[in-house]
Amino acid sequence: MSVTENLNIDALTQAALEARGLAMDGVAAANSGHLGLPLGTAECGAALFGHCLQYNPADPKWLNRDRFILSAGHGSMFLYSWLHLAGFDLSLDEVKNFRQLGSKTPGHPEYGETDGVEATTGPLGQGTGNIVGYACSQKMLQARFDNPAEPLFDYHCVALAGDGCLQEGISAEAAAYAARFGLDNLIMFYDSNDVTLDAMADKTQSENTADRYEAYGWDVTVLPDGHDIKAIVEAYDKAKADDNGRPKLIILKTEIGRGIPEVAGTNKAHGEGGVKFIEADRLALGLPEERFYVSEDTKAFFAARTAALKEQYDEWQKKFAVWKGSNPEQAKLLEDGVAHKHATEQELLKTIPEFDPEKKLATRAAGEAVLNAVAAACPLVTSGSADLHGSTKNYIKGVGDFDVDNYAGRNFHYGIREHAMGAIMNGIAYDGIFKTSGATFLTFSDYMRPSVRLAALAHLPTFYIWTHDSVGVGEDGPTHQPVEHVAALRCIPNLDVIRPADPEETAAAYAAAVERADGPTALILSRQGVPTLKCTPVETRRQGTLKGGYIIKKETAPLEMILIGTGSELQHCLVAAKELGDGCRVVSMPCQERFERQDASYQEEVLPASCTKRLSIEAGITFGWQKFVGLQGKALGTDTFGISAPGDIVMEKFGMTADNVVKTAKSL
């Protein structure tokens, strides 16, 4: 059958026109937004949602749907218009409520807010990494669960990006990764309209994008007329059929703001600059005076398409039911993955052996043992590193590497691509089957920060393994010694930041990260060895870590002072407490966020308001500790950049010692 058989050009052309009208009306009603992309890519939307993509609006999370991401999220009215026309749970009233409080049509697409939105996009380039993550997830899904003789999971991962997305460095990282790992299930459309926000694109770019992507290892198709629906469909179907180990880029040469001739083809079309012309231009296009107009013909066309897609969906569900009956254990594992049921904290702690109390061990090294125990208990947990497995110690043994010859492998080699690693991890997490983690040095968490922020915003259950956590890194010097990073990460809402003090706290930190389903977790681990803190039972340290903070040494006389520590500095609090007397309490605070989620009575039990003599110590900037030590307390930290010297000498230089804790505490 020809790929264009049953292709109703007239109906799709009419739908594209009406989608343009919806975009115009939505932006005009909000008096803000971006018209350029929705108007310039209306024919692409018609081809995708009206003919090419496989979906069921009644089951927006169907496992075998094609995944579509609008990377250029500022053009959100493109996505909202097509989701409405295609029958997703997005009413015309919601479209009319574009960018208003409480609507399902926020200014940029937000995952979890609107059915059919596969990723939170807007920061340019993020979607180009997210779609790579989706493609990785599918490859793993096929390798782990599919029957090669009769594939179940044969969908494709599709994105629409613009010049801004491809200018961002993250897109280059993601593109190189996608080609190296053979993601031929990935199809990306590039809305090449030669315009950016400030000026024409040639003001800031001169490269040949097609040649660049071919050099990465992509198949590239250029459509000189990006408004030709038939050509778009043919290019898509060719890309879909070519499972040749190469991701696909389809370049659409389009006119930005098409339909508003006063600004079309110029940078003035990017935002809402064309709104003042739309009253006359809508009529010139053939739209009626009625705003937010959808014709009965277009409604009928998409109703028929939905019915046809439903038939395909029903047939697939029958095959899936047969597969589940034949593979009950696999089916249960898959269902648990989709439900984010990997293991509870308590179940995981039972699988993690206690550590030798006499052995000094870096928390990154303890993390290696813990991760491998966790991975054995949770088959859908994956790990990755930005070319630092040997240092970050997060390689899962015996499960192989994710690669073109083994997509079932659970270790990801991201290369020196921290930002793309974060966005790819987000894509895997958006797909909602595998529990994904990634690692690098803490100082390079800055390279990942935009992706981490979006993970927190979208409530993605990723976790990060950031090692070499302080000036204790030593000889590599201030470029590699993170001082502000832990505090900066704590500023991100919905991100749990856990800095364990010893191997047993590390065990609990991993358990917490794996169980958490409503947001990401950052594990902050040391390069240098730390003692196992024998003053408190293992169970106390593990359960206390899950609560974020706990009493690790209780006073034996009336309470006079509280010392609070995290990570490698907690040991100094315990030593100092012996000299400070029986009225000194020591509190371990590995995770401020988890502690602040405890009820008020528990917080008061650990940090009674009556005790105002408080001292905290952490080898990082002191910002943020005031809320725990109060106005009469003191925070010890490293409030300047580090220095190059052996780690123990650097720590002593910055006062990260028991002697300095004693000296400072006595001055309170």
**Residues sharing a CB contact under 8 Å with residue 166, sequence separation 6 or more, in sequence order:** 125, 128, 190, 209
Burial of 75 (0-12, 13-18, 19+ CB in 10 A): buried
**Residues sharing a CB contact under 8 Å with residue 232, sequence separation 6 or more, in sequence order:** 43, 44, 47, 48, 223, 226, 250, 252
Distance (Å, rounded) from C-alpha 531 to C-alpha 513?
A: 23
**Residues sharing a CB contact under 8 Å with residue 337, sequence separation 6 or more, in sequence order:** 380, 432, 433, 434, 435
Q: Which amino acid is at 31?
A: N
CA distances, 581 to each of 188, 557, 570, 662, 664 (Å)? 66, 9, 17, 11, 14
Q: Which amino acid is at 428?
A: I
* Residue whose token pair is 């006119």: 255
* Residue whose token pair is 């408080």: 614
* Residue whose token pair is 């809508």: 282
Given a contact cutoff of 8 angstroms between Cβ atoms, the answer to whether 527 and 481 are in contact is no
Nearest to 255 by CA among 37, 76, 77, 46: 37
Given a contact cutoff of 8 angstroms between Cβ atoms, the answer to whether 592 and 625 are in contact is no
Distance (Å, rounded) from C-alpha 106 to C-alpha 177?
A: 31
CA distances, 150 to each of 145, 154, 187, 407 (Å)? 12, 10, 23, 18
CA distances, 177 to each of 136, 250, 403, 416 (Å)? 10, 18, 11, 10
Q: Give the residue numbers annotated as catalytic, written as ranges.
A: 418
Burial of 240 (0-12, 13-18, 19+ CB in 10 A): buried
Given a contact cutoff of 8 angstroms between Cβ atoms, the answer to whether 26 and 85 are in contact is no
Lookup: tokens for 139: 């490859």
Nearest to 612 by CA among 554, 561, 552: 561
Q: How is 521-553 classified by DSSP, letter by letter?
A: EEEE--SSEE---TTS-HHHHHHHHHTS-EEEE
Q: Output DSSP code: residue 645.
A: S
Distance (Å, rounded) from C-alpha 427 to C-alpha 406?
A: 20
CA distances, 575 to each of 77, 395, 561, 565, 571 (Å)? 60, 34, 14, 12, 6
Distance (Å, rounded) from C-alpha 511 to C-alpha 522?
A: 12
Torsion of Cα atoms, 504 then 411 then 375 then 369, to 10°: -30
